[in-house]
Structure 1
Amino acid sequence: MNQQQSTGDKLFDWAVHAALALICVIVLYPLVFVLVASFSSPEAVMRGEVWLWPKNVTLVGYQKIFQNSEILSGYMNTILYTLVGTAINLVMSVAAAYPLSRKDFYGRNVIAAMMVFTMFFSGGMVPTYLLVKNLGMLNTMWALIIPGAVSVYNILIMRTFFQSGIPYEMQEAAAIDGCSNLSTLARIVLPLSMPIIAVMILFYSVGHWNAYFSALMYLTDRDKYPLQLFLREILIQGQMQEMLGIGDDSHARSVMEGEAIKYAVVIVANLPVLLLYPFLQKYFVKGVMIGAIKG
C-alpha cells in the first residue's frame, strides 16, 4: 500500500507538473503556429492576427509549392541524400563499433583513443574543401555524404550498447558453434541491436534531412540542391522583400505569396521526420538509456 503523500510532496509534484506543462507549451507552440500560419491568409499572419487557429483559410502556399519544379526536385534530392547517407552511416558505424566492442580485439583501446582525439580537433573548412575538390567530388551527391560518413560519437554509443546490451558469452557460444565474426554480427548481434540501430537511423537521417551548409559549399547545379537550400532562399527572399517595403500591387502579391510559401515549406520539409519518430519511439527510449544501468 502506498503511503499518503505529505503536503510538501504534493506541492512539489504540482510544481514539477506545472513546469513540464510550461516547457511543453514553449516547445510546441512554435510548431503549432507554423502549422496554423501555413493554412492562414498571409495578410492575417503579417498583421499578427493568427495565434492558435487558422484565419481566412487558404492553401495558396501548398499550391505554389507543388507547382514549383525546383522545390519538388529538391525534395526528391533530400530523400535520396538521406536514404543513401543514412545507409552508409549505419554500415560504417557498425563496422567500427563491433570490433571495438570485442574483448579479443587487441589494440581496441588505442584505436578508440585515436578516434576520440579527432573529436577535439578539425582540419578546418578550407582544407576540407580542398580535399573534396581533389577527390573529384565537387558538385556531386558524394560531397554531402562521404565527408560525414561516420560519427565518432555515434560509434562510441553503439560500441557501448554492444558491450553492455549483448552478453559476450553469446558471441563466444556462436564462435564455438562455428560462426565467423561476420556471421556472429549478422545472426546474433544485429538482430539484438534494434534499439541502437533505430537511434542511429533517427540521428543520422535527421542530420542529413536538415543539412544545408555542405550543399551550399559543394554544389553548384540547382537541380542537385536539397530542399533545405531552397527553403533558405525563400526565407532570405522574404526578408529582403520585407526590408525593401511593399510598393505596387504585383510586389505586394509577391510578398504575400512568399509569406505563405515560407510556412508551407517548413511544414512539408519537417513532415517526414515527424512521421518517422513515432515508429522509432519505443526503440529510441531504450537506446538513449544505453550505459545508464549496468548489471
Structure 2
Amino acid sequence: MNSSEKVFNFFVYGVAIILILLIIYPLWFVIIASFSDPADVGSGQVWLLPNDWRLDGYVKLFEQSLFWRSYLNTVMYTVVGTLVALLVNIPAGYALSRKDLFGRKWVAIVFIIPMFVSGGLIPTYLTIKNVGLLDTFWVMVIPFAVSSYNIIVARTFFNNSIPAGLWEAAQIDGCGTIRYFISIVLPLSKAILAVIGLWTAVGIWNSWFNALIYLTNENLQPLQLILRRLLISNQLLQTQATGELASELRATADMMKYAAIVVSTAPIMMLYPLLQKYFNQGVMIGALKE
C-alpha cells in the first residue's frame, strides 16, 4: 500500500468515525441525562457521565399507574400487529409476483393508488366506527395492517430472489401452491420477512396518533400516548406553579422526559442488532432490483 492509499484510507476512516460519533453521542447523552440532576444537564455540566447518578426520573415514571398497563398494550399491539401485517402483506406480495395471476397489473394498480390518494381521516373514522372496531384492541391492529409499499417491496423481492424453476420442480413433486409458498418460499425469504417485520414493528411501537383518534379507554391506550399525556400534564402544572414549586416541577418533568425517551426507545432499538444481517439484504434486493 503506497502513501496516497494510506492517506485516503486515513481520511475515509476519520470521516466514518466522526459520523459514527455524531450519531451515537446524542443517544448517549439522552441516556446519561436520564440519570443526571436536571440542573447539571441544564447548565451544561454533563458531557460523558453523570456528575451524580440519580434514578428519580425512572422512579417517578414507574410510579404512574397507567405506565405499566400502557407498556403492555404497546408490546401486544406491536407483536400482534406485526404478525398480522406479515400475514397480509407477504402473501399479497407473493401473489403479485406470480406471472400467472389473472389481471396482475390491474391488481397492482389497485394497491398503488392508496399510496398517493387517501380516503381522509373522517371517512376512515366513520368506517372504523361502523364496523365496530372503535375503542377496541383490534383498531390498532387490523385497519392499518395493509401497506401498499410493503407489498410492492415484497413483490420485487420474490421476483428477483425466488427462481421460477423452483415452482416447476415443486409441481413435478406434486406440491401445491399453498404448500410451495409455506414450505419453500417462506424459508428462502427471511430477509424480506425481517425487513418488513422491523418496519412494521417500529411504526406500531411509535404510533400515538391512531390511538389518540380511535381510543378513549385509558386501559387500551399505548405507551407513547400515555407518555405524551404525562409530559403535557407536567408542563401545565409548571405554568400554574410559581417559585420553588415551579422549579421542582420543572426538574421532575425534565427527569421524566429523558427517562421516558430511554424507556420507550430501548426495546425497539434492541431489535436492530438481531435483524441487521437480514436488513441490508432485504432492502437492496426487494427495493432496488427490478
The TM-score with structure 1 as length reference comes to 0.91
Question: Separation in 1 of the partners of 2:240 and 2:17?
Answer: 40
State how 1:4-153 maps to structure 2 within 5 Å: 4-5=1-2, 7=4, 11-153=7-149
Alpha-carbon separation, structure 2, partners of 1:45 and 1:146 = 42
By how many angstroms is 1:47 displaced?
2.7
Describe the superposition over 1:183-211 as per-residue Cα deviations: whole angstroms up to 9, x where unpaired. Answer: 00110000111111011111000000000
* Matched-pair identity in %: 44
Aligned alpha-carbon RMSD (Å): 2.0
Change (3 A) 1:19 1:245: farther
Mapped contact 2:235–2:253 kept (Cα < 8 A): no
Structure 2 alignment gaps of length 5 or more: none
Contact 1:89 1:149 in 2 (8 A): yes
- Residue 57 of structure 1 aligns to a residue whose secondary structure is coil
- Residue by residue over 1:227-272, the C-alpha shift from the partner in whole angstroms, topping out at 9 and shown as x without a partner, is 0012212333444456x38624444323222211111111111111
Give the TM-score of the pair, scaled to structure 2: 0.92
In the aligned structure 2, how far is the partner of 1:97 from the partner of 1:178?
A: 24
Matched residue count: 289
Amino acid at match of 1:259: D
Match of 1:281 in 2: 276
C-alpha displacement of 1:159: 1.0
Contact 1:234/1:262, CA 8 A, preserved across alignment: no
Deviation at 1:23, TM superposition (A): 2.6
Which of 223, 227, 249 is the matching residue for 1:227? 223
| Distance in 1 of aligned mates of 2:138 and 2:40 | 43
The SS at the match of 1:289 is: helix
Q: Note if contact 2:162-2:185 (Cα within 8 Å) is conserved in structure 1.
A: yes
Aligned pairs for 1:141-290 (under 5 A) are: 141-240=137-236, 244=239, 247-290=242-285
Q: SS at the partner of 1:215?
A: helix
Which segment is superposed worse, 231-240 or 36-45?
Answer: 231-240
Please list every run of 5 or more consecutive structure 1 residues that lacks an aligned counterpart in the other structure.
none
User: Which structure features the higher share of helix residues?
Assistant: 2
